[in-house]
């Protein structure tokens, strides 16, 4: 295997695969490193806002997405205790169709990865990153396969696109942080024969956490939530011998009547999966010379469902920066440390303008929902003014894309669709 690349991308989720497609479509030699085998289950709400549809089409996966995703999400609901407030979601004027849809990560990630493969990206999977050495313009990454074969890869540019709960190997202190009661742990399960109307996107508020439900592809209902560690520990002390996921499910049915109604006759598929703790915040400004996209750049509380949007759109923002200043020859790669530093600062500044407001809004909304008094205030507000509920979708960025039409057209790879 050739080991010299223009760019190495760590992580083949929506951010990493999108960046790989865009850079390879411009003629770059790209390696995409992913430690898990696809298809894989992942803790994720699975909603894709309509503002991303032009990006998916430009990436060449529009037909595959549209052929697999669930129905249009036109309605939002707020569930707390015995109450449910319903409102209409605002359409996205910049895209068609105008409403978002949900697609399981098992399917979406595989579609994107195969698109990257078809356009010439070198896929190393399942391979894990072992070490990083060097600096911008001269990176050396050692990766190891599932059969314990090691390989050194070299590149001018290194892009970190790892997921929420992955860490790069160069920080020996990562993972040693003590467990805190306020840590948010994420849970997810899929159900068949649930009673959730297609096109409805319920948000769940309960003491010590928040969650959501959606009907995705194949009529599968996804239930996902985040629970504070101290709340979960209390629940488990009162439910000895029962798994954490089953304990969380029972709590949700008890504290949100709407969940109990939706799951009354539902059958769980596989089992509950969990991950965490969440680490919301902004990391795009790191000064180690590594470009970051997706959750590696910054993570919002998933209550507003903007994780997929931020993943896809940040990949486009970075690719536009790396390719857009190369003049007529987009194959030219920034190889010196000074130029990469300038590109990193421009990208980070643009990223911050586009996504920092979403992260702040998500944090405020999440903490309000987790607090009993805060959630009661929200419920009273939504009851009096249901139209306030969908405003979160507008303020959270769901109705607009961080990438303009001209950039989409200029960056779209000229290759077959899948």
Q: What is the DSSP secondary structure assignment for residue 376, as one 8-state letter?
A: H
- Residue ranges in the chain modelled with pLDDT below 70: 1, 95, 164-166, 170-176, 325-330, 414-418
Mapped onto helix, strand or coil, the DSSP state of residue 155 is: strand
pLDDT in tens, 357-374: 999 999 999 999 999 999
In sequence order, the 6+-apart residues with CB closer than 8 A to the CB of 47 are 73, 100, 101, 102, 201, 214, 305, 308
- Given this model, what pLDDT does residue 407 score? 78
pLDDT in tens, 30-68: 999 999 999 988 888 789 999 999 999 999 999 999 999
Within 10 angstroms of residue 281's Cβ, the number of other Cβ atoms is: 10
In 41-149, at which residue ranges do the beta strands (DSSP E only) sit? 47-48, 75-80, 83-88, 101-102, 122-124, 127-135, 138-145
Distances (CA, A) of 165 to 43, 139, 185, 254, 296: 10, 24, 11, 29, 10
- Given this model, what pLDDT does residue 176 score? 61
32: β partners: 9, 123
Q: Of 1.20.970.10, 3.20.20.70, 3.50.50.60, 3.40.50.970, which CATH number belongs to 4-173+279-411?
A: 3.50.50.60
- Given this model, what pLDDT does residue 187 score? 96
Cis peptide before 287 (omega within 30 of 0): no
- Given this model, what pLDDT does residue 416 score? 44
- Given this model, what pLDDT does residue 266 score? 96
Mapped onto helix, strand or coil, the DSSP state of residue 102 is: strand
- Given this model, what pLDDT does residue 173 score? 42
């Amino acid at each position: 295997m050739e080991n010299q690349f223009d760019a190495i991308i760590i992580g083949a989720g929506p951010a990493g695969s999108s960046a790989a497609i865009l850079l390879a479509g411009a003629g770059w030699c790209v390696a995409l490193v992913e430690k898990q085998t696809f298809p894989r289950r992942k803790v994720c709400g699975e909603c894709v806002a309509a503002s991303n549809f032009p990006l998916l089409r430009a990436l060449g996966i529009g037909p595959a997405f549209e052929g697999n995703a669930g129905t249009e999400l036109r309605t939002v609901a707020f569930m707390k205790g015995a109450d449910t407030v319903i409102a209409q979601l605002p359409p996205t004027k910049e895209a068609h169709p105008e409403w978002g849809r949900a697609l399981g990560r098992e399917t979406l990630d595989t579609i994107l990865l195969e698109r990257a493969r078809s356009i010439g990206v070198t896929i190393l999977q399942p391979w894990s990153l072992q070490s990083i050495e060097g600096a911008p313009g001269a990176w050396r990454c050692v990766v190891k396969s599932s059969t314990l074969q090691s390989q050194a890869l070299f590149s001018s540019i290194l892009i970190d696109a790892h997921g929420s709960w992955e860490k790069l190997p160069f920080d020996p202190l990562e993972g040693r942080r003590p467990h805190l009661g306020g840590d948010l742990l994420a849970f997810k399960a899929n159900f068949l024969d649930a009673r959730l109307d297609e096109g409805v996107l319920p948000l769940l508020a309960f003491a010590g956490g928040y969650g959501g439900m959606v009907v995705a592809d194949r009529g599968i209902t996804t239930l996902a939530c985040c629970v504070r560690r101290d709340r979960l520990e209390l629940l488990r002390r009162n439910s000895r011998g029962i798994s954490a996921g089953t304990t969380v499910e029972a709590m949700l049915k008890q504290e949100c009547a709407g969940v109990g109604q939706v799951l009354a006759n539902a059958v769980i598929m596989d089992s509950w999966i969990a991950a965490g703790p969440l680490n919301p915040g902004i990391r795009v400004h790191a000064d180690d010379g590594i470009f970051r996209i997706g959750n590696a750049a910054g993570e919002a509380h998933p209550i507003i469902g903007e994780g997929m949007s931020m993943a896809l759109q940040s990949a486009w923002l970075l690719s536009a920066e790396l390719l857009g200043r190369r003049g007529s020859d987009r194959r030219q790669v920034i190889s010196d440390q000074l130029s990469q530093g300038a590109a990193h600062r421009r990208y980070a500044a643009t990223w911050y303008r586009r996504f920092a407001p979403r992260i702040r809004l998500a944090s405020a909304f999440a903490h309000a929902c987790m607090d009993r008094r805060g959630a009661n205030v929200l419920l009273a507000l939504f009851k009096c003014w249901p139209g306030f509920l969908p405003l979160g979708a507008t303020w959270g960025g769901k109705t607009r894309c961080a990438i303009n039409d001209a950039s989409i057209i200029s960056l779209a790879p000229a290759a077959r669709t899948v």
